[in-house]
Structure 1
Amino acid sequence: MLPDPAELIACPTCDALYRARQPAAGERAVCERCHTVLIAPRARAGMSIIMLSLATLILVAGAINFPFLRISRAGFGNDASILDTALAFTEGPLQLLSLAVLALIVLIPATRALLTLYVLTPVVMDRSPWRGAAQAFRLSEALRPWSMAEIFSIGCAVALVKVADLANLTFGPAFWMFCVLTVVVVVQDQWMDRWSVWASLDREAAT
């Protein structure tokens, strides 16, 4: 007898199929082939993820408005924010590049945070999911590979090392906010138990 597809879970790394079962408290389900964590429920994880999503939105708002970096040399200086830098290129292919960078490092993380709040808030409050919650969570997962805040941080670190010999650099509040934002996004993804979220949405859809 073929298993019900709804009972199966596929490893995102090696595509191995398993029958999904809720682990006991303090346990987690791990792929036998590649040891990728498949199911890892945590106590009060939903509320923690909601708090991290709110923190992401606050940090994004600060990171795009406060000065990111100040460059000074020979008595001349200039402050630059992420938003100012993106809007500085208004013509040609650089405009598309700057908008793409802004979307990948700011807009997509903020969008994923909003979608996460939309999906998890009613679940954590033991209420029925809001309309379109499954589609919202699916969109959030589809955007995950395109959220590149940590890639931007690595690129900034490399660029600043090269520029430091040419001018005096002073990190603004947005720089530190963006560093914290990178950590928050990574921690949120680590805490997210996607199987549990889908299971909650499926149970509500079946009732």
Structure 2
Amino acid sequence: MNVDPADLIACPQCDALYRATHLPDGKRATCVRCGTVLISPRERSFLHVVAFSFTGMILMIGAIFFPFLEISTRGLSHESSIFGVAMAFSDGWIAPLAFFVLSMIVALPIFRFVALIYTLWPLANGKPAWKHAATMFRLAEESQPWAMAEIFIIGTAVALVKLGGLAKVSLGPAFWAFCVLIIVIALKNSFVSKWTIWDAIERK
């Protein structure tokens, strides 16, 4: 039988092909071969993703400039923020390191939040998708592996264990903002159904 490719969905893990279908809210379609969730629409999911994206942007902006941690030893102390650390590498031949730090930890996560808001805001309000919404959502998905805010906070936790025996470390508000950001990102991802979003963009 001739099947329209637009009616098919491929499993992102094992590439098995299925005929896509609309499901009621709360139901899920999974791959019979590997169990990967393919379609998982949830009630008012677009609005939830937009709300979590706005929250993530606010947390990220605060985490950039607020103190991240303070290290004290032998009567000396030093307090720094994410932006301050990046700027410490802004001179000389290691200047590209500052660019990559801010890009991977700050710029890309903020871009993904902005792209999701741009894509889903009109859809959440029952209006047609804005121009270039498909491109914005595609870029948001393609940049996901490079947005490393979660990896950064895990690496920081490992480093704090190493520093704990050498100096007194006090965690600042930016550290806790990053911790809350990880939770917000996880909640946002739980409401994202890629096929549902693509289908909504095409239908609208």
TM-score category, normalised to shorter length: over 0.9
Question: How far apart, CA to CA, are the structure 2 residues paired with 1:198 and 1:188?
Answer: 17
Deviations 1:147-189 (CA, angstroms, capped at 9, x unpaired) = 1111111111111100111111000000000111122122212
The residue aligned with 2:100 is 100
2:166 paired residue number: 166
- 8 A contact 2:59–2:178 mirrored in 1: yes
The TM-score, its normalising length taken from structure 2, stands at: 0.96
Pairwise CA RMSD: 1.1
Separation of aligned partners in 1, 2:100 and 2:141: 19
Amino acid aligned to 2:45: A
Which aligned pairs between 1:10-159 and structure 2 lie closer than 5 A? 10-159=10-159
Runs of 5+ consecutive residues of structure 1 not aligned to the other structure: none
- Opposite residue 35 of structure 1, the aligned amino acid is G
Count of equivalent residues: 204
Q: After TM superposition, give the deviation of residue 92 of structure 1 in Å.
A: 4.3
Instruction: Report the Cα distance in structure 1 between the residues aligned to 2:45 and 2:203, rounded to whole angstroms.
Output: 18
Distance 1:157 1:71 in 2: 14
CA contact (8 A) 1:109 1:185 kept: no
TM-score (norm 1): 0.95
AA in 1 matched with 2:94: L
For residues 14-68 of structure 1, what are the alpha-carbon distances to aligned partners after superposition, in whole Å with 9 as ceiling and x for unaligned?
Answer: 1111000112332100000110000000011111111100001100110001000
Deviates more, 1:18-27 or 1:128-137: 18-27
Structure 2: state its 5+ residue gaps.
Answer: none
Q: Provide, for residues 75-98 of structure 1, a one-character-per-residue CA deviation record: whole Å limited to 9, x for no partner.
A: 111110000000101234532223
Moved more, 7-16 or 18-27: 18-27
Which residue identity lines up with residue 64 of structure 2 in the other structure?
I
Indicate if the aligned counterparts of 2:104 and 2:148 stay in contact, CA closer than 8 A: yes
